[in-house]
Structure 1
């Protein structure tokens, strides 16, 4: 998740901090280089659905549904939108504006719907960063319901961003981008606790821990400011193990996902409007960019040989969209 169109009044100041942080960390946007051996490619990029950017529908995160569809979090509109496999869309939840307008949301200064997830029963869970207690946290929308309920309240000073359901551990995991932490909470609901606050998750001016995945016995996270992907092994007790940096040089990284081909990753680079392939050894190259229609790339999810990619169009362009591409090679 990155700055939204809903807080244009603070964009220039915030972006100045973020860019300065990226430069001070010695990182740069990925450069097109020869492909690491065996790295997958993407083909047949197309638009599945477009959204109303003028209404704040800056597409953020993706949770896949049966039939080739998905639910997508919309930052500025404070919405969850369902996209059918044929590209049709419907708004399934719109969150209220907090009292006072939500200007207390950390750093970004506006209330935002961010991460989304879906359980096996069809319930949709999403994060609302509202800068207010009683609104900020994990919300549940039961299958067939139109009334979301707050199941995990989080502190008002957190910026919940990415959400996953750890089925084996019976818990939610949530990144807190401004706090540089990962929180955990029971899937049944209740109070959260900090799972990891390792320095590798901290921001250096804007956002730290951002994207979040569970893979091969470890929690993997991206750090927006530092341009890194890190790996945290999950101990037998469920606690966080020692952090290791897996990849660097990915300034402005938002969400990412594994391709299903070992530790190979597709990473959404928001600042540069790119989708980057990251090999198992951490080397990487640009696979898609603005020439392929990407505008403020916010998220990517892979299912079999299909990659679902969101355009947030947060700072450039006007085509907030859900795109799909075919995964080939590798």
Structure 2
């Protein structure tokens, strides 16, 4: 749900306060991806939670959502190798579990450019990244957020560790499935210390294969990961499926001991079926909420939905961000 409306210093604009407040009826808002440290930035004009100015802007967002009766978790997104030196401090090389260049291009201030070969993290480096997640969690809660979500999907740093195609380490953070899940578990442990387990969630997306990610044994990987997640008593497990025919929900839901959230291109009918069949405790909407600030009301009344304007997904400014009409201003509902 990256919207690219922050400034070059990673500070959310005032528009973000309006954007999230408009969607406070969601029940729980999970924000766009927020980089925990400057080395986690992967796209132009994305927001962070590392500096005081960033935290101040996010505090205004949290207050606005709470004033409208909503709840909001901050999604912590470290992009790892899905970045470019022009986006990082002192033109540093992106970091990753292994020095394997991803296919594709990075979104920078100068348009799309080829990804570069990342620098493989040392174990000391990994400890620092884990500390960054812990500090970001502390800052998010200090800014007034109700909790945080670890973004462990979409080919970003946590999934780079999980997946055999991007993680070819032979130390304790690689090799076996047990080794490849260790980074995610250690990050969660550090986040839980700061927030308590009931304020920490995690998002995964098995076999989405986005951002040049591949895994030789994804079903084994994610079954093992979810088994280990049960040690944390997390706020939720958020599973979004795209592009796979395998029924991961049947594999993972029985393994998890907490609230199970399902997302991935849902419409109202499919969401209601998932809930009524007991296959989900809650359902997650992305693009449809982007274009419909009052999505819950539209569902309640069976009203037509606004069509998302793809051309403004990542452009600066209010257009396609805070100007989608709501029911009270939409004719012929």
Query: Is TM more than 0.5 here?
Result: no
Question: What range is the shorter-chain TM-score in?
Answer: 0.3 to 0.5
TM-score for both structures, normalised by structure 2 = 0.33
Q: Which has the larger radius of gyration?
A: 2
Q: TM-score, normalised by structure 1?
A: 0.33
Which structure has more RCO (C-alpha within 8 Å, separation ≥ 6)?
A: 1
